[in-house]
């Protein structure tokens, strides 16, 4: 009688890689209103950092790139080539930007050598291909820590009956980054923050670190000279993680990754007046935030119990959203502003750029846009992706209502469709709700949240099959 053949043990494999995506000097740095500076110095190199997981049946891949954001068409171009090279379906690729404000736009420049779009796409493809080539038996763990001292809601409500002018000639009930002069009129933050930092630790079967992916819900930190290229605190954090977990030169280097979470209304500045103002040197605050974040992540990482295998799964759905259009009154206002003589007094310092955005919104085609929404499963952890600058309260709601034990969200993933306030935040007004900053229908956040929760439930149903 033949001996019974024991089923082979399931094996998780993982690979990671980082590609340099530093733009050439001479390009326009985006992230601020005109006049925009021209890049004259590289302070630190920018990267696209990739992680690939394979449970034997399903492969998932993440890329986090040091860029302000990339449009869906750019990510889709990269995804098509990645799928062709690796076989990983586009729906299983979660590609996002860190939102550093010290980089350039991925557009085709008039000078051929400055075609940054083609360059960044090619390097993103290479990062995933190299990570895929590096796949080896691995083990995985995840958890979260707390770092509350660096997250503050940057939107503040004004006291009852008080308002603040906006560029369109109207009045708002909420203000972004209020000056000290406005402090007596402030009622309190307009939304919450999330003090948690999430992390996924991936090690080789011998315990050597392959990658560590973290997710913190904080905008860029800044404090960068205007003409410098920099990965902001994201890059410093990754470097600290890689140095702390470095093993040897005989294997692929460990890759630190920091994906941005829902922080469209959160930054690193305390507008309550409780934190004394301190003059900082360039990059000083970046180093403080990155150092504190790395310390907490490494503390949590040491407590984790890694598993030899976990199931992976993914769901994606395109959600149709209406493009936001200006009212006839707003169009009349914009045309009046743009017809002013150059030396005419301004009613608001941003009236001209927003008048231009109103006209652009009037003429924009088509009338609807497709938002790519995703949910990945890693064991009992879920990771969701939304192509907007998402308000923190939206991410917190998804986490609270998710059927999974733990859930976190990556923003500006698979596209860049502007800010995503809730309808209640629209009522308050403020920068993130202005037409041109916000580009889709008023109830977009409700539709997106419902769709993402459907994807999380679909993953849960797939678990039971």
Give the pLDDT band (50/70/90) at residue 2.
very low
pLDDT score for 4: 47
Work out the burial of residue 363: count CB atoms within 10 Å of its CB; fewer than 13 is exposed, 13-18 middle, 19 or more buried: exposed
Q: What does the pLDDT average to over 72-89?
A: 98
CB neighbourhood size of 137 (10 A): 13
For residue 379, is pLDDT > 80?
yes
**What SS3 state is found at 100?**
coil
pLDDT score for 167: 96
CB proximity list for 188: less than 8 A, separation 6 or greater: 156, 157
Percentage of the residues of the chain whose pLDDT score is greater than 70: 96
Give the pLDDT band (50/70/90) at residue 109.
low
For residue 113, is pLDDT > 80?
no
- At 115-164, the pLDDT tens digits run 899 999 999 999 999 999 999 999 999 999 999 999 999 999 999 999 99
**What SS3 state is found at 60?**
strand
CA 216 – CA 231 distance, rounded (Å) = 15
**What SS3 state is found at 394?**
helix
Q: What does the pLDDT average to over 29-47?
A: 91
**What SS3 state is found at 249?**
coil
* Residue in this structure with the two tokens 């954090």, named with its chain if needed: 237
pLDDT score for 437: 96
Percentage of the residues of the chain whose pLDDT score is greater than 90: 90
pLDDT score for 270: 95
For residue 397, is pLDDT > 50?
yes
pLDDT score for 149: 97
pLDDT score for 108: 55
- At 320-377, the pLDDT tens digits run 999 999 999 999 999 999 999 989 999 999 999 999 999 999 998 999 999 999 999 9
Task: Please list the alpha-helical segments (H only) found in 156-259.
Answer: 232-245
Q: What does the pLDDT average to over 5-28?
A: 88
DSSP β-bridge partners for residue 214: 199, 258
pLDDT score for 115: 86
- At 254-301, the pLDDT tens digits run 999 999 999 999 999 999 989 888 899 999 999 999 999 999 999 999
- What are the DSSP E strand ranges found in 160-252? 164-165, 171-172, 174-176, 186-189, 196-204, 209-216, 228-229
Q: How far is CA 147 from CA 216, 296, 299, 440, in A?
A: 9, 7, 12, 32
Q: Are 433 and 313 in contact (CB under 8 A)?
A: no
- At 238-255, the pLDDT tens digits run 999 999 999 888 899 999
For residue 76, is pLDDT > 70?
yes
Name the pairing type of β-strands 209-216 and 196-204: antiparallel
Comparing 108 with 284, the larger pLDDT belongs to 284
CB neighbourhood size of 215 (10 A): 24
Give the pLDDT band (50/70/90) at residue 462.
confident
Give the pLDDT band (50/70/90) at residue 1.
very low
For residue 311, is pLDDT > 50?
yes
Helix or strand (DSSP H, E) at 293: helix 284-301
200: left (phi over 0), alpha (psi -120 to 50) or beta: beta
CA 387 – CA 397 distance, rounded (Å) = 17
Give the pLDDT band (50/70/90) at residue 112.
low
Q: Are 137 and 11 in contact (CB under 8 A)?
A: yes
pLDDT score for 415: 97
């Amino acid at each position: 009688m033949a001996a019974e053949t024991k089923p082979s043990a399931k094996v998780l494999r993982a690979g990671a890689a980082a590609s340099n995506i530093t733009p050439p000097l001479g390009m326009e740095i985006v992230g601020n209103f005109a006049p925009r500076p021209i890049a004259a110095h590289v302070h630190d190199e920018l990267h696209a950092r990739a992680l690939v997981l394979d449970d034997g049946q399903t492969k998932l891949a993440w890329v986090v790139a040091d860029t302000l954001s990339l449009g869906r068409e750019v990510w889709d171009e990269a995804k098509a080539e990645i799928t062709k090279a690796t076989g990983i379906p586009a729906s299983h690729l979660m590609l996002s930007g860190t939102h550093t404000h010290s980089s350039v736009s991925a557009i085709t420049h008039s000078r051929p050598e400055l075609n940054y779009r083609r360059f960044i796409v090619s390097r993103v493809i290479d990062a995933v291909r190299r990570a895929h080539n590096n796949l080896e038996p691995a083990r995985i763990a995840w958890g979260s820590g707390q770092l509350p001292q660096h997250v503050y809601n940057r939107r503040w409500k004004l006291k009852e009956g008080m308002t603040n002018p906006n560029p369109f000639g109207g009045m708002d009930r909420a203000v972004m980054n209020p000056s000290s002069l406005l402090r007596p009129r402030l009622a309190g933050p307009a939304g919450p923050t999330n003090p948690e930092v999430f992390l996924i630790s991936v090690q080789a079967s011998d315990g050597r670190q392959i990658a560590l992916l973290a997710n913190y819900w904080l905008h860029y930190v800044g404090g960068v000279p205007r003409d410098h290229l920099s990965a902001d605190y994201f890059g410093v954090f990754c470097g600290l993680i890689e140095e702390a977990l470095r093993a040897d030169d005989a294997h692929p280097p460990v890759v630190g990754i920091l994906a941005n979470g829902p922080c469209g209304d959160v930054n690193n500045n305390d507008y309550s007046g409780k934190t004394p103002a301190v003059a900082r040197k360039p990059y000083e605050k970046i180093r403080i935030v990155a150092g504190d974040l790395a310390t907490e992540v490494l503390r949590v990482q040491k407590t984790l119990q890694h598993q030899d295998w976990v199931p992976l799964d993914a769901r994606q759905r395109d959600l149709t959203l209406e493009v936001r259009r200006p009212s006839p009154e707003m169009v009349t206002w914009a045309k009046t502003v743009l017809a002013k003589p150059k030396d005419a007094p301004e009613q608001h310092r941003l009236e001209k750029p927003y008048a231009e955005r109103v006209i652009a919104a009037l003429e924009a085609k088509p009338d609807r846009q497709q938002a790519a929404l995703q949910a990945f499963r890693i064991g009992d952890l879920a990771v969701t992706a939304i192509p907007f600058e998402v308000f923190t309260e939206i991410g917190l709601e998804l986490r609270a209502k998710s059927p999974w034990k733990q859930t976190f969200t990556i923003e500006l993933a698979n596209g860049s469709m502007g800010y995503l306030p809730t309808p209640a935040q629209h009522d308050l007004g403020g920068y993130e709700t202005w037409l041109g900053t916000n580009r889709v229908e008023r109830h977009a956040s409700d539709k997106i949240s419902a769709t993402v929760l459907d994807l999380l439930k679909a993953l849960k149903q797939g678990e039971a099959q």
